[in-house]
């Protein structure tokens, strides 16, 4: 088999859609997942190429099992998993955070990535040739928080641990795992940055963004490496965003 098969979570909008486009442009067939079928189907129609839509709530183990079974049934193998799906909670002080929101963010950002990683390991270990690659969307919040972002920051710090653990555990099976930490990709999620976002000193400031197509290209570049090479961690960000020195 010469064509490689990718699965992208959160593929219907924003960064996930940009990643899907970049992977299609480099010759991948891409299975697209997310919770809303109509959003995925609209994106697949727009992007064209060899896409396969399979909706799932990745925070649910049974949905993830069905998702990976559908991808294996369609393509027979999996060469790349991009754990991109995620959400941010409301920007409120930690003492005011509803525990239901905490659980929702953990399910979307961390449990979902774990469940997909577990399923990918099972598939990549069993297939011939053995192996594959996993790329996790960590966010720059994997190292440095914004104010009032406890659930998001906690889950993204945890993604760094999942990345390293997966990279270690994948070695015997030719499974590589890396992480991309993104700063201010220009998507619907970051549209508020043009009107000012809360800074560490309590002020509000506008922040620059970077074209999400460049994020897609960066992920495609990571995915193009042979499996005996791995980018363990990459940071891509708007050059002038107030990240270095934040706090």
* Active-site residue set: 152
Residue 244: phi and psi, rounded to 5, are -65, 120
State the virtual CA torsion across 58, 83, 177, 237 in degrees, nearest 10: -150
Angstrom distances, CA of residue 152 to CA of 56, 113, 205: 21, 14, 20
Helix (H) or strand (E) holding 204: strand 204-205
What DSSP assignment string belongs to 58-127?
TTSHHHHHHHHHHHHHHHS--SEEEE----------GGG--HHHHHHHHIIIIIHHHHHHHHHHHHHHHS
Q: Which helix (H) or strand (E) holds 181?
A: strand 175-183
Half-sphere exposure at residue 127, Cβ-oriented, CA atoms within 13 angstroms:
22
CA–CA gap between residue 157 and residue 154 (Å, rounded): 5
Contact of 210 with 43, CB cutoff 8 Å: no
């Amino acid at each position: 088999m010469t064509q490689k098969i990718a699965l992208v979570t959160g593929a219907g909008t924003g960064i996930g859609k940009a990643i899907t486009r970049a992977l299609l442009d480099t010759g991948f067939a891409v299975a697209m997942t997310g919770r809303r079928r109509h959003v995925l189907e609209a994106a697949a129609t727009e992007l064209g190429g060899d896409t396969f839509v399979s909706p799932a709530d990745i925070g649910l183990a049974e949905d993830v099992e069905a998702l990976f079974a559908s991808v294996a049934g369609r393509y027979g193998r999996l060469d790349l998993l991009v754990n991109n799906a995620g959400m941010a909670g409301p920007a409120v002080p930690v003492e005011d955070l509803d525990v239901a929101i905490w659980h929702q963010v953990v399910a979307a950002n961390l449990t979902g990535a774990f469940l997909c990683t577990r399923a990918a390991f099972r598939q990549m270990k069993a297939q011939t040739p053995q192996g594959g690659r996993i790329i996790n969307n960590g966010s720059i919040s994997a190292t440095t928080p914004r104010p009032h972002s406890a659930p998001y920051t906690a889950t993204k710090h945890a993604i760094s641990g999942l990345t390293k653990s997966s990279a270690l555990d994948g070695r015997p099976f030719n499974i590589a795992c890396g992480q991309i930490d993104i700063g201010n990709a220009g998507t619907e999620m970051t549209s508020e940055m043009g009107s000012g976002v809360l800074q560490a000193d309590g002020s509000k400031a506008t922040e620059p963004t970077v074209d999400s197509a460049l994020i897609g290209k960066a992920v495609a570049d990571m995915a193009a490496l042979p499996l005996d090479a791995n980018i363990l961690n990459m940071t891509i960000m708007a050059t002038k965003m107030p990240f270095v020195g934040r706090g």
